[in-house]
Amino acid sequence: MPNPTAAIILIGDELLSGRTRDSNMFFLAQELTRLGIDLRLAQVIPDDAATITATVRDVAGRFDNVFTSGGIGPTHDDITADAVAAAFDRPIDVRADARAILEIYYADRNIEMNAARLRMARIPDGAILIENLVSAAPGFSIENVHVMAGVPRVFEAMCHSLLPGLASGRPVLSQTWTVMRGEGEIATRLAQIAGDHPQVSIGSYPFSKDGVYGTNVVVRGVDGAAVEAALVAIAEAFPA
């Protein structure tokens, strides 16, 4: 059986303007690779309700899991929860279980539970809460879409709560062979090796060290024997 597939939708004007550098896709990709869930798409979109709704509808129909990052905080521009609810034609309102989590968290810290903070307890009907051990405000899963915070520390905490419960596959194994020659010199032979080993993915990544060009050749696959066979063929073709 093929591995489950996934996509991440990164939401935020601050990402598209260059004000904020994303790290959530990098973290998620590593975690999904370890679990055997294939991340196939990453898309960055603005804080626009219609765009979020349309994108979620489209992507949710093409992948087994969709993760969103950003736009579920307490401010006026945090519109992701409403837009995702609209994508599934679900009503959304403050939910008792989410409100209770926030009330306990803020009471323990002598912080006022105001209207802005209460916005983070608005959950679409039928959604399942995603635990947030950092700042309490939960994310949520609705069908195959998992809605999480954009703050990296909170996003990572939500991933740790969510990912163990998802259906997973075979972890992707990776091996690297370093060739002290440029990509242009090895490309033809490398293509032949890739054709001979269709069970794996072979990628080449150039670098320069002390003025000398080299290439890291990376073999990836779920079958350890197939990965090893391809690596041996590459090593024989391009001895260290």
pLDDT, position 49: 98
Are 204 and 86 in a shared domain? no
Name the pairing type of β-strands 5-11 and 38-45: parallel
Residue 144's domain comprises 5-165
Last residue of a domain, one of 116, 149, 165: 165
pLDDT, position 211: 86
For residue 211, give Cα distances in angstroms to 46, 62, 238.
Answer: 41, 45, 20
CATH number at residue 49: 3.40.980.10
Are 182 and 68 in a shared domain? no
Q: Which sign does the torsion angle of CA 173, 67, 142, 45 carry?
A: negative
Tokens of 58: 């489209």
Q: Is 63 helix (H, G, I), strand (E, B) or coil?
A: coil
Are 158 and 51 in a shared domain? yes
Are 123 and 39 in a shared domain? yes
Are 128 and 202 in a shared domain? no
pLDDT tens per residue across all 240 residues of the chain: 789 999 999 999 999 999 999 999 999 999 999 999 999 999 999 999 999 999 999 999 999 999 999 999 999 999 999 999 999 999 999 999 999 999 999 999 999 999 999 999 999 999 999 999 999 999 999 999 999 999 999 999 999 999 999 999 999 999 999 999 999 999 999 999 999 999 999 999 999 988 889 999 999 999 999 999 999 999 999 998
* Other Cβ atoms closer than 10 A to 66: 27
CATH number at residue 205: 3.30.70.600
Q: For residues 180 and 67, give the distance between their C-alpha atoms in angstroms, rounded to a whole number.
A: 39
Are 161 and 181 in a shared domain? no
Q: For residues 145 and 166, give the distance between their C-alpha atoms in angstroms, rounded to a whole number.
A: 12
Are 113 and 203 in a shared domain? no
Q: For residues 24 and 100, give the distance between their C-alpha atoms in angstroms, rounded to a whole number.
A: 28
Number of structural domains found in the chain: 2
Are 51 and 107 in a shared domain? yes
Last residue of a domain, one of 118, 149, 165: 165
Are 183 and 149 in a shared domain? no
> Which H or E run contains 57?
helix 49-60
Interval 4-42: pLDDT, tens: 999 999 999 999 999 999 999 999 999 999 999 999 999
Are 11 and 75 in a shared domain? yes
Last residue of a domain, one of 165, 190, 218: 165
Are 161 and 223 in a shared domain? no
pLDDT, position 16: 97
CB hemisphere CA count around 91 (13 angstroms): 3
Are 86 and 147 in a shared domain? yes
Residue with tokens 């419960």: 165
